[in-house]
Structure 1
């Protein structure tokens, strides 16, 4: 079986990191496939949401250290390894205007946690634990941890987690807003699928516009944000799906959205 598997079913694109013997630590070949899967999902009209998860009892232990060691210690080689390699996933995730969900089914460490942080929403099993962990290897967060984590949990808590490399369990992750939901291990698959099904049922044009507007507004002033959303409203109000939503509400039935 492939080290990374990407499948599409029922409106969901599923990326599975499939190296359970290595706690799903990723290789450079997996990075290429990972970014390609996200780019494919972006333009595939049958995909309405994407979920990232790991095989076995781990989410992702970060980059495979044997692969990292093969790069050597030359500074430019390390920089290129990140900018021309690992960061391709971050850029592809940033381009995706569909929901990207991390289903953290086990330990997520270092770049493994960073890969979850670049998702829009994180779900977590009760037994999972996460850690930035870089500092314990004498490193700095190489895959966006210093960018994503402060935006999610606030600067003070982010710096504590980045400086100490301490593990966070599911209860604490939920309390500080690192994850949105914690599910029991035995129910995780069903709960994850039910959450994704809820997103897939929504009108896809609206979902995509809401995601873009929310992220763009984080770096914009109020008047710019209001101007942007007024244009979005003008567009979506005239779509087939908007009319279908209003008709379904009047007729007291479930709507069927087509993305047009």
Structure 2
């Protein structure tokens, strides 16, 4: 089935036993969440959603983790929710609503609570809810051949996982409406041009480039990183005067930390700093 015909809601369930559908690993202060249902382009189940949200909360609680990367196995990022999940939901409005609010939206809430940088490495398809999941990340790196689409409208749905909120904030309301109302697909190059992704890389270099950047972020002060991330998101809803007042408090706190003293010393001594998150 071609990318253009991939359902924005996802794919059908495969036959046979499921492997571990989500893999969580930590190395070099980087936590990796790998969506691992390549046979259905990493379409997610509700149990997978629970694992995904738990992985984000685990990364948040682990002082050894400085950055989180989300990616997909088998050459795809995520094709959305598995259609078998939708078929199994009781056909009532309240059941369908709860499937989102008490199920799929767990990942969105866990991403909102994550104080550490969250990067999506997107290869292959990121469709419908799969693209919404990438939009929840702080940054997106894409392969040139990646295919991204908010294609809900092609099957008569509305974006169910934050697309109408997140996409306009990245590409502007007019471009967001163009993509949302048409269901059009863009490749990695076009996605970078319109601001949907931060960087585009050759397919074979995507993960190496993503982890190289993640290691750079992991080497920064975790306290400063968390405060910068929070200030950026909070400031989208604040006036400048309030933002300046907020930053004055952040600056006073940061300058009282051991990590600030270490950063200053390392800068003066021209060496890499060793941060202790205090």
State the TM bucket, normalised to the shorter chain.
over 0.9
State the 1:149 CA deviation: 0.3
State the 1:72 CA deviation: 3.7
Please point out which of 41, 47, 61 is paired with 1:29.
47
For 1:157-196, what aligned pairs fall within 5 Å after superposition?
Answer: 157-196=175-214
Please point out which of 7, 12, 29 is paired with 2:30.
12
State the 1:73 CA deviation: 2.6
Deviations 1:88-140 (A, max 9, x none): 10001001111010000211000000000000000001111100010011100
For 1:104-183, what aligned pairs fall within 5 Å after superposition?
Answer: 104-183=122-201
CA RMSD of aligned residues (A): 0.8
Moved segments of 4+, more than 4 Å: none
Deviations 1:61-94 (A, max 9, x none): 0000111111143111110000000001000100
Unaligned 5+ runs, structure 1: none
For 1:16-95, what aligned pairs fall within 5 Å after superposition?
Answer: 16-95=34-113
SS of aligned partner of 2:77: strand
SS of aligned partner of 1:60: coil
Q: TM-score, normalised by structure 1?
A: 0.98
SS of aligned partner of 1:58: coil
SS of aligned partner of 1:31: helix
Q: Number of aligned pairs?
A: 260
State the 1:201 CA deviation: 0.5
Which structure carries more relative contact order (alpha carbon 8 Å, separation 6+)?
Answer: 2
2-side partners of 1:193 and 1:51: how far apart? Answer: 8
Unaligned 5+ runs, structure 2: 1-18
2-side partners of 1:187 and 1:178: how far apart? Answer: 19
Q: TM-score, normalised by structure 2?
A: 0.92
Please point out which of 235, 241, 244 is paired with 2:253.
235
